[in-house]
Copies of this chain bind each other. A is one copy, B any other.
Amino acid sequence: MTDAPDAPSMQWLDDGGVTTPEGFSAGGIFTGVKTYGEEPRLDLGILLSDRPCEVAGVLTRSAVTGPAVSRARRLLESGAPARAITANSGCSNTVTGQQGIRDTERIAQLTADRFGIDPDGVFIGSTGVIGRLLPMPPIEDGIAKVELSEDGGAAFARAILTTDTVTKEAAVRFEVDGVTYHVGGCAKGSGMIHPDMATMFGFITTDAPVDRVWLQAALGLIADRTFNMLDIDMDTSTSDTVLILANGTAGGEPIGRGHAAAGPLASALESVARHLTRELARDGEGANTLIETVVEGAASDEDARLAARTVVSSPLIKTMVTGRDPNWGRVMMAIGRSGARVEQEQVSVWIGPHCVLESGTPTAADLAAVSQTMDADEVQLRVDLALGEATATAWGCDLTTEYVHINADYTT
């Protein structure tokens, strides 16, 4: 694992996604479950590998989860190879009792039947309203009819969206010792997103062959630096799921500790995960501006993470960015309550390139110019605690009246 995101040979691929790695196909279809969202309104997607995959995952830590999450936890523990992910949007099938469990199992069985694979290789994702049963007849029909193809990653990415306005996809290619590997991914999630857990849906594929234990360890570290550093609205989904499927089509020995491709693969996975995380932040419900917070000089990694996450989680920071208001006192408020060790006389704060507080003393920064810097698609807030060497980065978005409109009218 490396902090440097991009391996030397790594290239970003235009229009890449989960079907960019070799041996994956996917597709999406509209069944009628999702009654809102952008056109074309797909709401059921299947991602399929033409051979068994090693799989790693991180799941919501919420005490309230749906049967899809329980099933994923069971499959991950079983060590069974993965072949497919069937995901729907519009209904999370959570708090739906025994019928909800039966419905999830039936989706897995129907997927397995259609493609002639083991049901224990089928992961399910369900996202959307909590507390409603899935309308099974249209979903069954959709599983029977959805067409998969090697360029179907975009349709799959669209089928998992809820209040998202755009799909989030990425893919990279890199070479080690003459072997070419690909990593692709897609993600969804626009509200109910807070970084205390595995966040939202993130599905990542690779044609690299991997050692499963190494992959799970790598995903844990990567999720803590990417998806788990994302905050849109402080709320945590009951359905948060990140899965990596590695089908080994690229060939060679399984990549794990000591393999020449281990570092580059970890970098590629982290690059894709970071890209997806930033895209999720940018498309937060009602958001106009991505907020990136960098905390440096923290006394410990945990302090750096706490401070960075508290800043991007703060409604008053969010609204300060909404208003292009260089009210840096709110940054001090947020780090003050974060639980991180802070000596306020030591702290320096930057908004974009402008230092507004230097070692605890307000600078003569031209606040009108700072405000102008904030009138952008992306605003960086940087804090130097000057207590140590630890750093962390977190991502969030501004809070607008549109967020309130979206969430005041979601089920009714």
Chain A residues engaging chain B, CB cutoff 8 angstroms: 61-65, 92, 94-97, 129-132, 191-192, 194, 196-197, 233-238, 313-316, 319-320, 322-330, 332-338, 340-342, 344-345, 357, 360-362, 371, 399-401, 403-405, 407-412
Most chain B beta-carbon neighbours within 10 Å: one of A132, A192, A324: A192
Copies of this protein in the complex: 2
Instruction: Show 8 A/B contacts (Cβ-Cβ < 8 Å), sorted by A.
Output: A64-B337, A64-B342, A65-B344, A233-B316, A319-B407, A320-B408, A327-B411, A401-B404
CB-CB nearest in chain B for A321: B408
Q: Is the CB of B95 within 8 A of A325?
A: no
* CB neighbours of A361 from chain B (8 A): 97
Give the shortest distance, in Å, between A354 (CB) and chain B (any CB): 14
Interchain CA distance A399-B235 in the complex, whole Å: 14
CB-CB nearest in chain B for A236: B337
Interchain CA distance A319-B403 in the complex, whole Å: 9
Interchain CA distance A326-B360 in the complex, whole Å: 46
* CB neighbours of A63 from chain B (8 A): 335-338, 340-342, 344
Q: Is the CB of A371 within 8 A of B412?
A: yes
Q: Is the CB of B97 within 8 A of A328?
A: no
Q: Is the CB of A192 within 8 A of B316?
A: yes
Given contacts A235-B316, A401-B405, A404-B404, contact A328 B360 (CB under 8 A): no
Q: Is the CB of B332 within 8 A of A95?
A: yes
* CB neighbours of A338 from chain B (8 A): 63
Q: Is the CB of A95 within 8 A of B197?
A: no
Interchain CA distance A336-B410 in the complex, whole Å: 20
Q: Is the CB of A322 within 8 A of B192?
A: no
Question: Of B96, B332, B345, which contacts A94 at CB under 8 A?
Answer: B332
Most chain B beta-carbon neighbours within 10 Å: one of A334, A337, A338: A337
Interchain CA distance A337-B235 in the complex, whole Å: 8
Question: Of B64, B97, B404, which contacts A335 at CB under 8 A?
Answer: B64
Interchain CA distance A154-B313 in the complex, whole Å: 36
CB-CB nearest in chain B for A359: B97
Question: Of B97, B194, B328, B407, which contacts A131 at CB under 8 A?
Answer: B328
Q: Is the CB of B315 within 8 A of A131?
A: no
Question: Of B130, B327, B360, B407, which contacts A333 at CB under 8 A?
Answer: B130
Give the shortest distance, in Å, between A375 (CB) and chain B (any CB): 12
Given contacts A344-B95, A357-B95, contact A62 B333 (CB under 8 A): yes
Given contacts A64-B332, A131-B327, could you give 9 more A-B pairs where the C-beta distance is less than 8 Å? A63-B335, A64-B333, A92-B329, A95-B344, A130-B329, A130-B330, A192-B316, A236-B333, A325-B411
